[in-house]
Amino acid sequence: MKQSKQSLFQLAFCLICTSLSPYSAGQSLQDNLWHGGIAIGGSYASSNTVAQTFNLNANGSKASKEDKLGLYTVINYGSNTVNKIKTNTAQLLRLGGRYDYNLSETSFFFGGSEIETNKIQNIDSRYSVNAGAGFKLIKTDETSFDIFTGLGYSDTRFGTTIPPSPSSKKGVEILLGEESTHKLSTTSSVKQRWSIYPGSAGIGTRSTFDISLATVVANGWTLNAGAAVSYTSKPSNNFKRTSSLITFGFGYKY
């Protein structure tokens, strides 16, 4: 357990340090138009075995002086076929969004939700809703950095379970998080988000970290790299507490 936590925090720390590098996107433009990016990657190999992967990382936001709406998604699918027997090696889908209403230049109220399925981690479905307040610690043309906290509710339903492991977990949880965007050039950008959800005794504590980097090569088309890390203190059955995904591919920035 200590090793899993240490690996999670080390990877997240490295990714945060990376997000402060020159490969960085400034704060959201307050023009009431959608801005964001999408990155797609994958592979296919065929011989005695057939292996294929597909991944997608996307985010978008629409902001004005009064409010902001942000959406994000992470998709990862992988399979391996041996002797005509197909085994899924990855099956992750996460969708989320948040609405911010500005109280002042430096503070805001928010409401958000997220849904997720991760069959490889035995998660059939998970949904969560939350609300709270946040503060804009940095707000410049090059960099924005927000922190936020709130209260929420989550419901997780598992696939195959072995007693005494429960088939589902639900309860109240606290939300603690931060997110930032950076821009140090006209072609390179990065966004990152880290959220921690300390929950009631039955559901434990979980955490998610997502980061995406993009470099424009021509007419909005980009080269991309992304990473997603998730952690839960009370996984189903004997599944690992930490799972991670690193992606590379092409994308488009708008």
153 sits in the region (left: phi over 0; alpha: psi -120 to 50; else beta) called beta
Q: What pLDDT is stored for residue 10 in this prediction?
A: 42
Residues of the chain with pLDDT under 50: 1-26
Q: What pLDDT is stored for residue 6 in this prediction?
A: 42
Q: What pLDDT is stored for residue 28 in this prediction?
A: 63
CA distance 242 to 121: 9
**Eight-class DSSP state of 134:** E
Q: Please provide residue 29's backbone torsions phi and psi, each rounded to the nearest 5 degrees.
A: -70, 135
Domain interval for residue 97: 2-253
When divided into structural domains, the chain yields a total of 1
138: domain CATH number is 2.40.160
**Eight-class DSSP state of 199:** B
Residue 239 DSSP SS3: coil
Question: Is pTM, for the whole model, over 0.85?
Answer: no
Q: Please provide residue 187's backbone torsions phi and psi, each rounded to the nearest 5 degrees.
A: -115, -20
